[in-house]
């Protein structure tokens, strides 16, 4: 049974997506396309799929995608977009609360882009579960905010952004079984929902399972 806090989180994210216009062609995240384009398609898990831009892009590249989000509104919209785009067999969108459990299965790619929430979520446990859900040779891609964009929902001037090294330490992967392929901040010019442009910093972590 969901705790009151978990119920609040569901309601919060339901309201967030219900208030947004339906994105008919959601964009994938830039770091995903930069890093994953060269990888051979396989099975992917998209954590916190949101508007579905990443899941749809992966499906178009030949991946079979399980996409999860706490918001049923987001999941229903993504399901509709996938079917309308002829990708219904490649995208399995499910409502799932990562605070309660990690999705089952094994994956060649796990995508965790901006997995932040104002509600309780043990991110280290979620990302540790993701590392263990990788098949040998599979990669976990974690992209976090390293700065506050003008359009971010979190405008706390005291917000702290853990470094990729700190995220790695929190996951606690065994070097004998996982390799850190990339762990660094990277800046870019981003465009917000209202068309504004600003320089933002991403914290990028790529973990590959070797055995």
CA distance 9 to 57: 27
Q: How confident is the model at residue 3 (pLDDT cuts 50, 70, 90)?
A: very low
Query: Across residues 15-23, what is the average pLDDT?
Result: 91
3-state SS class at 203: strand
State the DSSP H helix or E strand holding residue 60, giving kind and residue range, or none if neither: helix 53-60
Query: Across residues 73-78, what is the average pLDDT?
Result: 97
Q: What angle do CA 10, 33, 204 make, to 5 degrees?
A: 70
3-state SS class at 28: coil
**CB within 8 Å of 147: residues ≥ 6 apart:** 161, 199, 200, 201
Q: How confident is the model at residue 99 (pLDDT cuts 50, 70, 90)?
A: very high
> DSSP characters for 177-190?
TEEEEEEEEEEEEE
Query: If you average pLDDT over every residue of the chain, what do you get?
Result: 93
Q: What is the pLDDT of residue 5?
A: 62
Q: What is the pLDDT of residue 138?
A: 98
DSSP 158: T
Tens digit of pLDDT for each residue in 167-183? 999 999 999 999 999 99
Question: With the C-alpha atoms ordered 41, 108, 204, 113, is the resulting torsion angle positive or negative?
Answer: positive
Tens digit of pLDDT for each residue in 123-158? 999 999 999 999 999 999 999 999 988 888 778 888
Give the residue extent of every domain in the chain: 4-209
CATH H-level, domain 4-209: superfamily? Vaccinia Virus protein VP39 (3.40.50.150)
The model carries a pTM of 0.93
Tens digit of pLDDT for each residue in 42-66? 999 999 999 999 999 999 999 999 9
> DSSP characters for 78-140?
HHHHHHHTT-TTTEEEEE--TTT-PPPS-EEEEEEES---SS---HHHHHHHHHHHEEEEEEE
Percent of the chain with pLDDT over 90: 82
């Amino acid at each position: 049974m969901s705790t009151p806090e978990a119920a609040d989180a569901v309601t919060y994210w339901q309201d967030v997506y219900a208030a947004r216009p339906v994105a008919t062609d959601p964009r994938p995240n830039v770091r995903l396309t930069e890093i994953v384009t060269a990888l051979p398609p396989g099975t992917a898990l998209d954590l916190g799929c949101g508007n579905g831009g990443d899941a749809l892009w992966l499906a178009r590249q030949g991946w079979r995608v399980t996409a999860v989000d706490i918001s049923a509104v987001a999941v229903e919209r993504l399901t509709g977009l996938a079917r309308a785009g002829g990708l219904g067999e490649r995208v399995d969108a499910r409502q799932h609360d990562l605070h309660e459990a990690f999705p089952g299965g094994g994956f060649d790619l796990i995508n965790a882009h901006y997995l932040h929430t104002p509600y309780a979520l043990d991110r280290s446990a979620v990302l540790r579960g993701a590392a263990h859900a990788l098949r040998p040779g599979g990669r976990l891609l974690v992209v976090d905010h390293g700065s506050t964009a003008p359009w971010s929902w979190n405008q706390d001037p005291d917000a702290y952004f853990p470094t990729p090294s700190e995220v790695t330490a929190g996951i606690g992967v065994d070097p004998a079984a996982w390799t850190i392929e990339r762990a660094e901040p990277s800046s870019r010019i981003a465009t917000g929902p209202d068309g504004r442009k600003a320089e933002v910093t991403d914290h990028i972590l790529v973990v590959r399972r070797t055995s």
